[in-house]
Amino acid sequence: MSPEVPSDQGLAAYNFAYLDEQTKRMIRRAILKAIAIPGYQVPFASREMPMPYGWGTGGVQVTASIIGPDDVLKVIDQGADDTTNAVSIRAFFQKVANVAVTTHTKEATIIQTRHRIPEQALSEGQVLVYQVPIPEPLRFLEPRETETRKMHALEEYGLMHVKLYEDIAHNGRISKTYAYPVKVAGRYVMDPSPTPKFDNPKMHMSDALQLFGAGREKRIYAIPPYTEVVSLDFEDHPFEIQRFDKPCALCGAENVYLDEVILDDKGGRMFVCSDTDHCEDRREHGHAGEMLARQEAAE
Amino acid sequence: MTDAPLLKVNAVSKFYGQRIGCKEVSFDLWPGEVLAIVGESGSGKTTLLNCISTRLLPTTGSVEYTMRDGSVRDLYHMSEAERRFLMRTDWGFVHQNPADGLRMTVSAGANVGERLMAVGNRHYGNIRATASDWLTRVEISKDRIDDAPRAFSGGMRQRLQIARNLVTGPRLVFMDEPTGGLDVSVQARLLDLVRGLVNDLGLSAIIVTHDLAVARLLSHRMMVMKDGHVIEHGLTDRVLDDPREPYTQLLVSSILQV
Amino acid sequence: MATSLVVSEVFKSFTMHLRDGIKLPVVKDVNFSVASGECIVLGGPSGIGKSSILKMLYGNYAVDAGQILVSHHGRIVDIATADPRTVLDVRRHTLGYVSQFLRTVPRVSALDVVAEPLVARGVVAEEARQSASALLSQLNLPKELWGLPPATFSGGEQQRVNIARGFITDHSILLLDEPTASLDARNRRVVVEMIAEKKQKGVALLGIFHDEEVREAVAGRILDVMQFSPRKAAA
């Protein structure tokens, strides 16, 4: 990753990866600080991007600041490489940075994600960039930003459990299934962006660097590789991830996060991998789920 | 009689520019003692309460507090982290308006349980059992534990606020007009409840009120404030039965006899 | 016999600031003492300052000058100058007061009202209730009333609750402000017996009794308050 591009490469007419170098430096400083203080929300001067807030402006700015000509970029939206948000962000970086792109998790050096962590375990050297809508985990119960910052500073996190208590009181269990709060490196409580809690264990001691960018809220935070990430819970209501009754209907994978797909208007439906790359890869290697097997039998 | 005072207030003054909030107030508060601060609105009693409870920084003066381990600390020279910890464990603060002291959007159980979770209690069942016990103690039916205070009457909200404050077994409770916005019959019930809790738990309390009947029923000792100064100070029944200062006599003679 | 209470050169007046600061003298140069096991009755016409003297001794009224010395936990405390905390401690352990009227507390049962002074001194609630029951039956208070708050009781019933509350502890000094005022003959006799018991236990009693029969029965000595009246001196 060396984003400094010599002007004689014909790229001088515009900035590599859209942002000017000063901005990228500012963001990199924020990222370095975030890595130094795992889970701490570092304010940064978020720029206007050529897309609306909510489309991943935070993640895009982080990616733009760390990407270099040799990087290979993968972009996913809810696990899929082929939905609007993923396609347009991938196209954006192809255009403004002329980088190689891929859908294969293993090949990517940078993976920008909206709300999923790939099923394929990440490896050292990879960077996962999250798009974050609301970085403040305490906001639900304490709307004052001055107060929540103080609570982070003084490590007053009782309120986080109040939220979980409410969940159990009203639903009999912790019903929060996404954006499930975690404690990073035993210090800061962090909102992992609206990823399903199924993915929370993957953040723990990950080989990859995880960066979080919130454009509208102007915050960057990070989990360095090999950092402890613990999901909050109660002793008598321990943290649990979602379980699925059936394997993926297409590739037969178990212990992966599944999406429900409606097949017809007669109640027909199937559950398939949310991670499209993982699913395709498995099918290429000859795995077949129930639905695929039935189709093949029909042909 | 040989123990140390819980709180030592030394010459606390608060000025708002030229205006006096409270001036040169000194007193000791002993364990198990209930002190009432009375006076009309604007007399500086709430300013004084806020200064002592470190919600407001005084212009001059100091307040010493005897911690649970027996060490004596100057409240204004504690770190913010220590002070906040003290406030949510060893102290309580009951606001006149329960909405200021409660989380109105979360259930009664969570309101009571919050302080427990804040000090590291991580067992849902235990937290809930304690919350339920406290609701009973403040005469709120257990089946309301999952209702938000929004659905409660004013008197219930105030009782909930008291439970929320007492759950960590504080030694000192500050109350700012605790019966302020309540109907007379609801007031009586609340006062009786507070009186019982203070006796049972051996709490020390500082109660700001303009209602002399509240002071008579709850306090051992009272201070009368006027224009930011403490003008009379003594045993509650002494001050009420034999008021010495002109202003105190006026206050006492202004009580409606029913 | 040990002296439990010494009143020396006490002066008291009220200054009525709301009425142009006029000064109402109440008593002057009050001097007397009460020994352990003795019952002194304050005598004299009403309005002469008998109740005021009791209130000063109990700390309800401040005094202008003089000393009120009580022997408390083996040391001498001057009620006239003691700080509120000391006065409260003296009241809790040494100095009891039975007033004419019961200050009723809402929602607390008669039994608990009576037991409270013991509980305040650290006696286990159940034990305190037993002592309270014994006193209430001695005073012939119908058992059905014990569990009810006394606010709705008749004057005589409230009075008996009040007496029981005042007599339940082993305070070494008891101040009695017309405790028999609204009692019938039978219960008056009970109170007389109770006072006699207290005397036997070495309690120093100081009281106001308008009922002649009771006064005759309990008074070791009658102290004429007239002699302390500032009005007499002026005349």
Q: Which residues of C touch B30 (CB under 8 A)?
A: 85
Residues C88 and C184 in one domain: yes
Is residue A105 domain-resident?
Answer: yes
Residue in chain C closest to B2 (alpha carbons) equals: C86
CB contact under 8 A, B128 and A169: yes
Nearest to B127 among A165, A170, A233 (CB): A165
Q: What is the phi/psi pair of residue A208, to 5°?
A: -95, 160
Cβ neighbours of residue A228 closer than 8 Å, sequence gap 6 or more: A184, A185, A186, A204, A205
Residues C162 and C184 in one domain: no
pLDDT in the model for residue C234: 46
Residues A107 and A213 in one domain: yes
Residues C89 and C201 in one domain: yes
Q: Which residues of B touch C57 (CB under 8 A)?
A: none
Residues B123 and B48 in one domain: no
Chains A and B touch (3+ CB pairs under 8 A): yes
Our separate counts of H helices and E strands in chain B read 10, 10
Neighbors of chain B by Cβ distance (3+ pairs < 8 Å): A, C
CA distances from C74 to A32, C90, C95, C131 (A): 72, 12, 13, 26
- Neighbouring C-alpha atoms within 13 Å toward the C-beta of B85: 12
Q: A230 and chain B: CB distance < 8 Å anywhere?
A: no
Q: Edge-to-edge strands of the sheet including B60-66?
A: B19-29, B7-16, B60-66, B72-74
Q: B61 and chain A: CB distance < 8 Å anywhere?
A: no
Q: Which amino acid is at A186?
A: G
CB contact under 8 A, C84 and B235: yes
Q: C222 and chain B: CB distance < 8 Å anywhere?
A: no
- Residue B91's pLDDT band (boundaries 50, 70, 90)? very high
Residues C9 and C88 in one domain: yes
Residues C111 and C159 in one domain: yes
Residues A225 and A266 in one domain: no
Residue ranges with strand state E in A65-208: 72-77, 100-101, 110-114, 127-131, 182-184, 188-190
CATH number of the domain bearing residue B244: 3.40.50.300
Instruction: Suggest the residue from B103, B106, B111, B121 to mutate for an interface test with chain A (most A CBs closer than 10 A).
Output: B106
Q: What is the pLDDT along chain A (299 residues), one digit of tens a residue?
A: 555 555 555 555 678 999 999 999 999 999 999 999 999 999 999 999 999 998 999 999 999 999 999 999 999 999 999 999 999 999 999 999 999 999 999 999 999 999 999 999 999 999 999 999 999 999 988 899 999 999 999 999 999 999 999 999 999 999 999 999 999 999 999 999 999 999 999 999 999 999 999 999 999 999 999 999 999 999 999 999 999 998 999 999 999 999 999 999 998 899 999 999 999 999 999 998 888 777 777 76
Nearest to B241 among C18, C61, C73 (CB): C61
CA distance C106 to chain B (A): 7
CA distance B238 to chain C (A): 4
Residues B180 and B120 in one domain: no
Q: Which domain holds residue C47?
A: 1-94+173-235
Is residue B8 domain-resident?
Answer: yes
CB contact under 8 A, C59 and B30: no
List the alpha helices (DSSP H) in B76-147: 80-89, 98-101, 108-118, 124-137
Q: Compute the distance between CA of residue A91 and CA of residue A98 in angstroms, rounded to an integer.
A: 9
Is residue B215 domain-resident?
Answer: yes
3-state secondary structure of A40: coil
- Neighbouring C-alpha atoms within 13 Å toward the C-beta of A272: 21
Is residue B96 domain-resident?
Answer: no
CATH number of the domain bearing residue A99: 3.40.50.11310
Residues B178 and B254 in one domain: yes
pLDDT in the model for residue A10: 54
Residues A172 and A285 in one domain: no
- Mark which of C170, C203, C225 sits at the end of a domain: C170
Q: Compute the distance between CA of residue A63 and CA of residue A59 in angstroms, rounded to an integer.
A: 6
CB contact under 8 A, C17 and B246: yes
CB contact under 8 A, B110 and A169: yes
CB contact under 8 A, C85 and B192: no
Residues A116 and A264 in one domain: no
Q: Which domain holds residue A176?
A: 21-139+165-231
- Mark which of C132, C149, C170 sits at the end of a domain: C170
pLDDT in the model for residue B186: 83
3-state secondary structure of B132: helix
Cβ neighbours of residue C134 closer than 8 Å, sequence gap 6 or more: none
pTM: 0.88
Q: State what percent of residues in chain C have pLDDT above 70.
A: 97
Is residue A79 domain-resident?
Answer: yes
pLDDT (tens digit per residue) in B152-178: 999 999 999 999 999 999 999 999 999
Residue in chain A closest to B104 (alpha carbons) equals: A141
Instruction: Suggest the residue from C12, C18, C53 to mutate for an interface test with chain B (most B CBs closer than 10 A).
Output: C18
Is residue A187 domain-resident?
Answer: yes
CB contact under 8 A, A169 and B146: yes
pLDDT (tens digit per residue) in C119-152: 888 899 899 999 999 999 999 999 999 999 998 8
CA distance C104 to chain B (A): 10
pLDDT in the model for residue A5: 52
Is residue A155 domain-resident?
Answer: no
pLDDT (tens digit per residue) in C69-122: 999 998 999 999 999 999 999 999 999 999 887 776 777 899 999 999 998 888
Residues A175 and A31 in one domain: yes
Q: Which DSSP letter does residue A199 get?
A: G
Residues A178 and A294 in one domain: no
CB contact under 8 A, C14 and B195: no
pLDDT in the model for residue B129: 97
Q: Compute the distance between CA of residue B235 and CA of residue B241 in angstroms, rounded to an integer.
A: 10
SS3 for A274-297 is: CCHHHHHHHHHCCCCCHHHHHHHH
Nearest to A156 among B84, B123, B125 (CB): B84
Q: Compute the distance between CA of residue A255 and CA of residue A119 in angstroms, rounded to an integer.
A: 9
Instruction: Suggest the residue from C85, C87, C93 to mutate for an interface test with chain B (most B CBs closer than 10 A).
Output: C85
pLDDT in the model for residue B256: 66
pLDDT (tens digit per residue) in B14-63: 999 999 999 999 999 999 999 999 998 889 999 999 999 999 999 999 99
Q: Which residues of C touch B246 (CB under 8 A)?
A: 17-18, 21
CB contact under 8 A, C62 and B238: yes
Q: B80 and chain A: CB distance < 8 Å anywhere?
A: yes
CATH number of the domain bearing residue C37: 3.40.50.300
Q: Compute the distance between CA of residue A270 and CA of residue A261 in angstroms, rounded to an integer.
A: 5
Q: Which residues pair with A258 in a beta bridge?
A: A273
Residues B179 and B157 in one domain: no
Mean pLDDT of the C181-200 span: 91
Nearest to B124 among A156, A170, A237 (CB): A237
- Residue C232's pLDDT band (boundaries 50, 70, 90)? low
- Got the DSSP string for A216-256? TTTEEEEE-TT--EEE--BTTB-------SS--TTT---SS
Task: Using the predicted structure, report yes or no on whether residue C230 has a pLDDT greater than 90.
Answer: no
Residues B32 and B160 in one domain: no
Residues C88 and C1 in one domain: yes
Residue in chain B closest to A170 (alpha carbons) equals: B146
What b-and-e string marks burial along B191-222, b requiring 16 or more CB atoms within 10 Å of the CB? bbbbbebbeebebbbbbbbbbbbbbbbbbbbb
pLDDT higher for C20 or A161? A161
Nearest to C17 among B30, B221, B249 (CB): B249
Q: Tokens 């208070």 — which residue?
A: C141
Residues C164 and C179 in one domain: no
SS3 for chain C is: CCEEEEEEEEEEEEEEHHHCCEEEEEEEEEEEEEECCCEEEEECCCCCCHHHHHHHHHCCCCCCEEEEEEEECCEEEECCCCCHHHHHHHHHHCEEEECCCCCCCCCCCHHHHHHHHHHHCCCCHHHHHHHHHHHHHHCCCCHHHCCCCHHHCCHHHHHHHHHHHHHCCCCCEEEEECCCCCCCHHHHHHHHHHHHHHHHCCCEEEEECCCHHHHHHHCCEEEEHHHHCHHHHHC
Number of structural domains in chain C:
2
CB-defined contacts B:C, below 8 A: 54
Residues A221 and A272 in one domain: no
pLDDT in the model for residue C94: 94
pLDDT in the model for residue A6: 52
Q: What integer best gives the mean pLDDT of chain C?
A: 90
Is residue B188 domain-resident?
Answer: yes
Is residue B70 domain-resident?
Answer: yes
- Mark which of C170, C199, C225 sits at the end of a domain: C170
Chains C and A touch (3+ CB pairs under 8 A): no
- Residue C181's pLDDT band (boundaries 50, 70, 90)? confident
Q: What is the ipTM of this complex?
A: 0.89
Residues B146 and B221 in one domain: no
Neighbors of chain A by Cβ distance (3+ pairs < 8 Å): B
Residues C7 and C48 in one domain: yes
Instruction: Suggest the residue from A234, A237, A239 to mutate for an interface test with chain B (most B CBs closer than 10 A).
Output: A234
Residues C90 and C36 in one domain: yes
Number of structural domains in chain A:
2
Neighbors of chain C by Cβ distance (3+ pairs < 8 Å): B
Residues C41 and C20 in one domain: yes
Q: Which residues of A touch B124 (CB under 8 A)?
A: 165, 168, 234-237
Residues C73 and C142 in one domain: no
Residues C6 and C89 in one domain: yes
- Residue C235's pLDDT band (boundaries 50, 70, 90)? very low
CB contact under 8 A, B145 and A169: yes
Residues A59 and A170 in one domain: yes
Contact assessment for residue A90 and residue A22, using Cβ atoms and an 8 Å cutoff: no
Q: Which residues of B touch C109 (CB under 8 A)?
A: none
Q: Which domain holds residue B138?
A: 101-169
Task: Using the predicted structure, report yes or no on whether residue B255 has a pLDDT greater than 80.
Answer: no
Q: Which residues of A are catalytic?
A: 39, 248, 251, 273, 279
Instruction: Count CB-CB contacts under 10 A for residue B112.
Output: 29
CB contact under 8 A, B249 and C59: no
Q: Which residues of A touch B122 (CB under 8 A)?
A: 161, 233-235
Contact assessment for residue C34 and residue C205, using Cβ atoms and an 8 Å cutoff: yes
Q: Tokens 């259930």 — which residue?
A: B107
pLDDT in the model for residue B132: 97
CB-defined contacts A:B, below 8 A: 55
Q: Edge-to-edge strands of the sheet including A72-77?
A: A42-43, A219-223, A209-214, A127-131, A110-114, A72-77, A100-101
Nearest to B192 among C73, C85, C106 (CB): C106
Q: A298 and chain B: CB distance < 8 Å anywhere?
A: no
Q: Compute the distance between CA of residue A82 and CA of residue B159 in angstroms, rounded to an integer.
A: 56
Q: B227 and chain C: CB distance < 8 Å anywhere?
A: no
Q: Which residues of B touch C88 (CB under 8 A)?
A: 220, 235
CB contact under 8 A, A162 and B81: no
CB contact under 8 A, B245 and C17: yes
